Amino acid sequence: MQARRVARSALLAVAASVIVLAQPDPADPTPLVDKHYNYPDGIPYQVDYDTAAIRGPQVGYNICNSTTQNQQSMCQTSFVNHIDVSDFCLWAPPKPNSTIGQTEAEEVAWCTKPGHGTRLIPDSALRGVQVLKTPDYIQIAGFIDQSQINMTPDDYGGELDPHGADLRGNPLGGLMYSNAFPGSNGNNDSYQQIIDWTNFMGANAFCIKVCDPAKNTGPALCQNIYDRLGCAYNAPNRAKNGTFEVCDADNMSPPGVYVSGGATMTYFQPPESLGPITTVPYTPEAPSSSNCVTYTSAALYTGLPKSSHPAVRPGGGGASAPITKSGSASAPIATTSDSAATATGISMTAGFLGVLFAMAFLS
């Protein structure tokens, strides 16, 4: 209990420092995380519409339905739903051959199920997915042919989150909802807005984590202040290429918090001005999991558009996507083993390669 109190105090201090550094846009000073809307009737056409804002208004819209569901949809309302691997969305660019670093403010929702008014991830794009259902969050990590969702094949990607340097989020106006937490009472038509979430995309891998809005652990477990460390540290997992599974799991240790010599310590991500991150004082571990159920992709992803891309098999055990600031270009993750037993080590190696090959970091 004492260790938990120490860890929480350290995380609160880090969060406070981030708030101080953030500079709200005078034209739209309300942070995205403070904009709350009931789904679906309470959502405005656009959450972020002020043309006087420094980054301009959002490029898409938030009211999404059957009239907007197509492969040109500009829907910026996303979902992580039922506790299986068949109903979730990822943020990715609206235009082909894009990088996350260039389009972080413009990303749109790409989903695995029809019915959300979004674009659909092509049927052969997902190559392996692991869902971890924990007491306080849901985490989905895996492998994807990112060229099928408008990312350049060599983009090492970045993080999307509801914060950003101006607190307007990346993408601008991006909303997240879920029907998978206890607050929905098992009703698939009852959605809760997710306030704390993170989504790393790049190097043909991804991870997305959404925290239960009814818990007070969201700012710690789904925080966005370790954006240069990628999935390996923010969403440690045992995803395997070619495997689609759902597991119960314990909560991970909050990113940045570790135990050394019996003492709880907090690692602080260094500023980019100091150059690439070449060492981190601890090795992240995927939380213990149990009750894993394996599926076949054909049984899960129905109703998706056919891909026009040739089959490409991303490598990997332990999906470990980008190491970067919110939406910045930075190498993560491509991995080469299919063994879950070695996933953590591979993720770590890929993570450090990501740091060493980091290109440009955007706010």
**pLDDT tens, 219-274?**
999 999 999 999 999 999 999 999 999 999 999 999 999 999 999 999 999 999 99
Asked if 17 and 153 count as a contact pair (C-beta separation under 8 A), the reply is: no
- DSSP strand E in 26-114: where? 77-79, 89-92, 108-111
DSSP string covering 90-104: EEE-SSSSB-HHHHT
Within 152-240, residue ranges assigned H as helices are 218-221, 230-234
Identity (one letter) of the amino acid at 168? R
Asked if 144 and 334 count as a contact pair (C-beta separation under 8 A), the reply is: no
Instruction: Round to whole Å and give the CA distance between 164 and 159.
Output: 10
DSSP state for residue 315 in the 8-state scheme:
-
Quote the pLDDT of residue 306.
83
Quote the pLDDT of residue 184.
93
Does pLDDT of 298 surpass 90?
A: no
**pTM score, two decimals?**
0.84
Closest to 254 measured CA to CA, from 286, 230, 222, 300 = 222
Quote the pLDDT of residue 226.
95
Average pLDDT, the chain: 84
Quote the pLDDT of residue 335.
33
Does pLDDT of 348 surpass 70?
A: no
Using the structure block, give the residue that is written with the tokens 């270009």.
329
Q: Residue 281 — very low, low, confident or very high, per pLDDT cuts 50/70/90?
A: very high
Closest to 254 measured CA to CA, from 278, 229, 279 = 229
Identity (one letter) of the amino acid at 7? A
Return the SS3 of 96. coil
Most confident of 79-88, 200-209, 313-322: 200-209
Quote the pLDDT of residue 22.
75
- DSSP strand E in 164-298: where? 175-178, 192-193, 197-202, 205-211, 244-249, 257-260, 263-266, 289-295
Q: Residue 2 — very low, low, confident or very high, per pLDDT cuts 50/70/90?
A: very low
Q: Residue 297 — very low, low, confident or very high, per pLDDT cuts 50/70/90?
A: confident
- Cα 341 off chain centre by: 24
Element containing residue 201 per DSSP (H, E): strand 197-202
Within 8 A by CB and 6+ apart from 73, the residues are 64, 108, 109, 117, 118, 119
Share of the chain above pLDDT 70, in %: 79
